[in-house]
Amino acid sequence: MNPDYFVHAANILLLVAYSVRDILWLRLFAVAASLIAMPYYVHQPKLLWAPLIWSAIFAAINLFQGGRLFLERRPVKLTPEEEEVRRLVFRDLSPRKILQVLSIGSWATAPTGERLIQSGKSLSALPLIVRGRVQVRKGEQVIGELGAGSYVGSALLLSGAPAEVDAVAVEPVRVMRWEIATLTRYLAANPEARIAMQSHLARDLAGKLERVTRDSVRA
């Protein structure tokens, strides 16, 4: 076989690669083109080591990146708790993005009586209640109650001021907790997640304000 056929076939595959829109297929066609071109360099009167080595390098890089893309596109199965967080807060995000957001936080179970925020202290982490109830107390007075889907300390996150109330678990509470500094960096780099979280924060604050207003009118 004429070795020129290999280089022609390789270049045809490169043309196809540059024509497709899907980056994964582009990577795969580029790998095939590099591999098919290699016999051309081998069957020359003098083995062409330089282009042969570069073709092998390009094939390895595209194969590695293609493998990463394939793994990223595999279907993601959320656990029941992760699915609950998606339902409560991130309905518009993909399951893979949900896992990314949760990976920068940590799960915790607060026993009855634990303070999720404490009067006089600044907020260092933002807890999201997934299950359970939390009472908001000012001294001995109960001024509100939070349930699943509520952030604990959302107003403090925006103001940066120390807490003037205590948030106390009245039953075992399951929370997803994000460190403020880590969350801020992540949201700055991920607009999609930032929009979803800010939207829920706005709804959360609006709901709390509505409840406070309603309770004060009743009083």
| Spatial CB neighbours of 208, under 8 Å, sequence gap ≥ 6 | 144, 150, 154, 155
pLDDT for 139:
82
Task: Locate all alpha helices (DSSP H) within 20-107, ordered by sequence.
Answer: 23-42, 49-72, 80-88, 95-103
Q: CA-to-CA distance for 177 and 162, rounded, in angstroms?
A: 18
Task: Report the range of poorest mean pLDDT among 4-8, 177-181, 211-215.
Answer: 211-215
pLDDT, position 217: 47
- Could you tell me the pTM of the whole model? 0.65
In the chain the first and final C-alpha atoms are separated, in Å, by 94
Name the token pair of 119.
């009067």
- Token pair of 126, please? 């933002």
Query: Rounded CA gap, 24 and 17, in Å?
Result: 10
Q: How far apart are CA 195 and CA 92, in angstroms?
A: 10
- The pLDDT assigned to 204 comes to 78
Residue type, 106: S
Residue 137 corresponds to which tokens in the numbers above? 């107390």
